[in-house]
Amino acid sequence: MKDKIEALRSKFSSELKTVADLSSLEELRQTFMSKKGAIQDLMKELGKIPNDQKKDAGQMINSFKQEVNEHFEARKKELEELALKALLDHTESYDDSMPTGNPCGSYHPITLIQRELEDIFESMGFDVEDYNEIVDDYNCFEALNIPKFHPARDMQDTYYLTTPNQLLKSHTSAAQNTIMRKYGDKLKKYGRPIRAVFPGRCFRNEAIDACHENTFFQMEGVMIDKDISISNLIYFMKTMLSEVFERDVTVRLRPGFFPFVEPGFELDIQCLICGGDGCPSCKNSGWLELCPCGMIHPNVLKHGGINSEEDPFEYTGFAFGLGLTRLAMMKYGVGDIRVFNDGDLSALSQFVSR
């Protein structure tokens, strides 16, 4: 028995040396350890051995079995480690500098600037309103104190339509009357001041070039309450524009004529590029003309049902108009206005949100 074990041991150790992978190791294990394996065969032979030697022989087989098992486990561990190492070695180190497609859409630049402004105005308590693109003569002109013979009504500027008294809105001010009527009751009954902005598409008959468009966006705003003053207007414009440009801006007001405000102003901001020293952007003046504004004309407040004939100054208010298209051009450095409506995706796809 001892010899047999010795023969098996040397067979095992020599065969174990040739084993190079886990599957042949398993084969080897089967050869020795399975129910039909070599060690089991030894166990069977145990019956033929005289009784007094059985105990020793049994112990010998058991310790051999244990020995084989240990070798086997050690080798298995070794091979597993080798396999893992080989897996690691063979795994590709990826080139993450490879370009990828960016499955990322884009917003229209007007949407971006509009959202930014709407957020600011909402934070200042303004309602954001929507308004039609087709409006009637009353809302676009009459209600805004733009008399019948005013040049702004001329055919060459305004797109009148074949439908009675209708036109494509030439300015967002066309919404003023509707908004005054919508919120007038709350103002008069509950003292809730009217604060609203209304962005929208406007149309004017212009030949299109890099600086001119017949379709553009404005955002208009009004604030109406008791005792709203010019001083309030200047304060508000400065605060609001500082938010828009994310820095403290210097503003100045000049007289400007618009029939729906009195007094009316052109608001300039100190050039953000040169800081007022003069540069090509501000045509060396140090100032950029940014938005018309003014105290809402008493006739407009009357048309809007805010003030009565008897007390045309009971409520006062201011209005302002921002050129969204122009602001977007300034903010994103768009040099050619045609980008906005041309639908050229190589240009528009660059306006991803931040």
Q: Are 346 and 220 in contact (CB under 8 A)?
A: no
Distance CA 326, CA 281 (A): 13
Query: Candidates 9-17, 28-36, 175-183, 254-262 — which segment interacts with other proteins by CB under 8 A?
Result: 254-262
Residue from the set 18, 97, 100, 231 that interacts with other proteins by CB under 8 A? 231
- Is 279 a binder of other proteins (CB under 8 A)? no
Distance CA 60, CA 45 (A): 13
For 78-98, give the DSSP string. Answer: HHHHHHHHHHHHHS----TTS
Exposed/middle/buried for residue 14 (C-beta within 10 Å: 0-12, 13-18, 19+): exposed
- Is 263 a binder of other proteins (CB under 8 A)? yes
Residue from the set 28, 139, 173, 266 that interacts with other proteins by CB under 8 A? 266
Rounded least distance, CB 114 to other proteins, Å: 10
Chain-centre distance for alpha carbon 20? 57
Residues 194 to 223 in contact with other proteins, rule: CB under 8 A: 195, 201, 203, 215, 223
Residues 22 to 41 in contact with other proteins, rule: CB under 8 A: none
Instruction: Provide the sign of the torsion angle of the four alpha carbons 233, 234, 237, 238, taken in this order.
Output: negative
- Is 99 a binder of other proteins (CB under 8 A)? no
Residue closer to other proteins by CB (options 32, 258) is: 258
Q: Are 286 and 273 in contact (CB under 8 A)?
A: no
- Is 239 a binder of other proteins (CB under 8 A)? yes
- Is 141 a binder of other proteins (CB under 8 A)? no
- Is 333 a binder of other proteins (CB under 8 A)? no
- Is 270 a binder of other proteins (CB under 8 A)? no
Rounded least distance, CB 79 to other proteins, Å: 41
Binding mask 101-140 for other proteins (x = CB under 8 A): --xxxxxx-xx---x--x--xx--xxxxxx-xxx-x----
From 296, 288, 287, 289, select the one nearest 320 (Cα to Cα). 296
The pairing of strands 127-128 and 194-203 is parallel
Distance CA 230, CA 120 (A): 21
- Is 303 a binder of other proteins (CB under 8 A)? no
Q: For Cα atoms 329, 330, 334, give the angle at the middle one, nearest 5 degrees.
A: 40
Rounded least distance, CB 288 to other proteins, Å: 13
Rounded least distance, CB 216 to other proteins, Å: 10
